[in-house]
Amino acid sequence: MDYEVEDGVIYCDKGIAQSPRWFADSRLIFRFDESGITQVDYRNPAQRFTRGSNTVLVKRLRDVLRYFIEADGVTYKPEYLNSKIWPFGIESEWTCEGATFKHRVMAVAEAVIIQLTTPSEMPDGLKFKMEFWEASVLCGSERNDYNYWGHGMRRTWDEWRYVDEDNALYGRFTEVSEEDYQRPGYTPVANNPELAEDDIYQTELNMCMTADFSMEHSVIAAALPLNAKHILKSGVLEPDSVYSFILAFAPDKIHLKEKIFGMRENLEDKITRQFDRYNKVAQNSPKLISPYKELNDFFMLIPMYHESLKITDYPGAIRAKTTHYGVWGWDGMTASYATAYWGDVEHIKNMLSFYERTAHPELGIGHGFNNDMTVASISAIPAQGMYITLLQLYYAISGDMEEVRKRYPFAKKIFRLISGREVADTGFCEGTSLYPDFPDRIKETGHDISSFNNTIFYCGARSMNYLAALVGDDVMREQAEAVFKKMEGNFIRLFYDPDKKFIVTSVDSETLEKRYCYDVASVKWENNYCDELIEPIIDDTLEFVAENAISEAGLREIPLWDDGFDGDANQMHCWWPVNTEYFIKLANLTNRNDLIQKWIGWVSRWTEKLMCPEGISYYIETDDPDTDSWNALPGTWHGYSMRGWYQAAVHGVVGVEADAGGLTFYPYDGAEVTLRGLHYMGKAFDIEIKGNGRYIEWIDVDGIKIKGTDKLPSDLYEGKDHVDIKVWRTSTEPQDAYIKCAHGIELTDYRFDNGKIKAKISGAGTCRIKIAAHKEPRVMVDQLAVPLRYAQDTRIATAEIKLNPAIVEELEIMQ
């Protein structure tokens, strides 16, 4: 079906593009196609993790919710003409009986809204109606289908009741554990006050179907159980009028009544605020202009669908996926450069608060969360280092020192929690790998040093060093430096397999012996310090990936010959898009445009389907992998996958990356592209990448040209809200020596004259400048020579500098 994407909204002339669609608002999610609403999920805040099902209504034998126009007893189903599809709903036109109506189905304020707007001229006698079957209520536990599994809970529905004075149809169910249900004399707590609530685990969910007009209710009874059909119908429709059905939920009836009465009184205001919310996201979102239409569409869609995952009454909490998944720890935090780039800095700030506020006092950050946002399980401790990287990222893109000081004590607590598990003075810390779900299938035993976890922790230790210096905590600054330098000294010895030329997934924490399993996700590239850990083996590991990890379906994370491949018949034959950063950075740094083009094709295929999967199966060799009922559920968008692919496109395809010292460009032999509106430090950057090649000839910032650095001096954009940048790539090295990167270092007063580079530098903690040079250069800081590590094979010189954030120093680089 043909469709176009404009500002994150999907337009199609006829029908519903790539149906079914899933629409969401906070705890409410529903599935929709041209037959109507086919599933409704509500994450009841009174319900705990893996206790009961979040699905309330689902299409099986009968439909769920359908709406129609009725004319003289004849029923007409909706048409979908000139549709606009949003993450929270659809707007369409509908021609019926010679008149054109407008209709909308939306998730607003955690309620389903089905709305019809009548034209000024229309036939007499038309009515608007909604129908559902009692057979659509989810009653029992489906142990063979995880989508609808009750997790050992028994659900009991009350009879539906229509209350004339409320203009509402009420439904209610209770869920209780099977053990308690089997108790002699058990009845639901609400009907048995003598049974104390703390004696059992029971929840209830109340729901209501109402309207902002006077309804008629009727029931067509059936001989078979649950075959009864409910019909809610308007009176005769008036021209130029709006009619809205509302389906709402609450844990108890008192709050439900308050909600529906409030919805009816303020419905248009709530709808307007929802559209305003998403229009603001669309207006703030960067636009990619490239030869790749689907990638351009992807850039517009992702910030919008990410917005739909937020739990609106718990700022910082975000559902992992459109449906099925609630709030998780690393699912929310990882790959947050993307969130920064599209300008949602407030969400990052809220996450820092949320994960601290909900943390276990001794074990740290939550992994899984109950619907009431209490912690259900604890994250793998070494992997909690991504909170520290998140805090540094927040400072890098906001400069908000007040928030850093507020969150620093918790980040420090997390660092000490992790480093307290250090093994044999290696810098690396013990703990079962956060990923995959079944680590025993990659030979972990419970005595493990996980590469996945510890590459996160390395990034966290680098961020900790920076943050400690920033706040003046010299003891922690030195401790963090000692940890990350031990990790650098031991990483290749412990994890690198010289025969395979790749990283093993784990090391035995008792013997320090390698486990010979291989996964492209073994390096979790959580920030750009990671390249300093793997720099000596970048070429080798890229060669391994190119030979073993490229399939038509996507990135083959675990090679086919590895013992772990398909070890759980699920995750371990899939590519997880959140784990893309390592691959895309390797491809960019080694100038493998062929692999970047391959990646663009993979992303484009799923964008065409208007979805972003959690996992992509490469079990079958095909360039059109199947959707499924879980990892790649049609119409759904997975949060960390969206962010993982988004920032991979910025870092790898566009070739620009932000850190605490500014923007750095990473040229390669790729197509010319323009990225408009990239957010950084409260500014919007329009970046035009011109020419072709793995070197930069010059950078133009609002008409000022500079040479000799791939990192942008920050005073060139200081005091501006909008910055225009042109980067001209070339295939030949234009200078004998130039700055390739300087993570965490800010350049100002930059000068390049006769091959000599001068600049003022500032930063925090232990920072490194990488200089590409034909021969070993001389580097001076405040007129003192800085020791260098110069690699003859790569012709990269690395200078390590310890920076005090209160001091600006003078840098000189010369051949």
Kindly report the three-state secondary structure assignment for every residue of 659-727: ECCEEEECCCCCCCEEEEEEEECCEEEEEEEEECCCEEEEEEECCEEECCECECCHHHCCCCCEEEEEE
Q: Pairing state of beta strands 722-730 and 683-691? A: parallel
Coil, helix or strand for 74?
strand
Residues present in the chain in total: 815
Q: Rg of the chain's alpha carbons, rounded to an integer?
A: 29
State pTM to two decimals: 0.97
Rounded CA-CA distance 708/734 in Å is: 8
Rounded CA-CA distance 806/777 in Å is: 28
Residue that has been written with the tokens 């603001």 in this structure: 280
Query: Shortest CA distance to 20 belongs to which of 615, 627, 642?
Result: 627
Rounded CA-CA distance 146/53 in Å is: 10
Sign of CA dihedral 597, 599, 602, 608: negative
Strand partners, 760: 748, 810
Query: Is 464 in contact with 387 (CB distance < 8 Å)?
Result: no
- The Cβ of residue 251 has, within 10 Å, a number of other Cβ atoms equal to 17
Q: In whole angstroms, what separates CA 387 from the centre of its chain?
A: 15
Rounded CA-CA distance 555/479 in Å is: 37
Query: What is the secondary structure of 549-573 as a DSSP string?
Result: SB-SSSB-SS-TTSTTTTTTSSGGG
Rounded CA-CA distance 129/107 in Å is: 19
Q: pLDDT at position 809, please?
A: 98
Q: Is 714 exposed, middle or buried (0-12, 13-18, 19+ CB in 10 A)?
A: middle
- The Cβ of residue 150 has, within 10 Å, a number of other Cβ atoms equal to 21
Order of strands across the sheet that contains 673-680: 287-289, 673-680, 683-691, 722-730, 695-701, 704-706
Q: Is 459 exposed, middle or buried (0-12, 13-18, 19+ CB in 10 A)?
A: buried
Rounded CA-CA distance 266/268 in Å is: 6
- Return the beta strands (E) in 186-278 as ranges: 202-211, 216-220, 229-233, 242-250
Rounded CA-CA distance 563/343 in Å is: 42
Q: pLDDT at position 186, please?
A: 65
Q: Class of 285-659 per CATH?
A: mainly alpha
Query: Is 42 in contact with 249 (CB distance < 8 Å)?
Result: yes
Task: Give phi and psi for 495, each to the nearest 5.
Answer: -110, -20
Amino acid letter, 389: T
| H-type alpha helices, 243-400 | 253-284, 293-307, 329-333, 337-341, 345-357, 385-398
Low-confidence ranges of the chain (pLDDT < 50): 190-197
Coil, helix or strand for 531?
helix
Query: What would be the CATH architecture of the domain defined by 4-143+209-248+264-281?
Result: Distorted Sandwich (2.70)
Locate the domains of the chain by residue range. 4-143+209-248+264-281, 285-659, 662-814
pLDDT digits (tens, 9 = 90+) for 383-401: 999 999 999 999 999 999 9
Q: pLDDT at position 46, please?
A: 87
Query: Is 167 in contact with 211 (CB distance < 8 Å)?
Result: yes
Residues 6+ positions from 196 with CB-CB distance below 8 Å: none
Task: Give phi and psi for 69, each to the nearest 5.
Answer: -110, 135
Rounded CA-CA distance 305/765 in Å is: 37
Sign of CA dihedral 369, 375, 377, 382: positive
| H-type alpha helices, 637-732 | 639-648
HSE, side-chain direction, 13 A CA sphere, residue 218? 6
| H-type alpha helices, 312-365 | 329-333, 337-341, 345-357
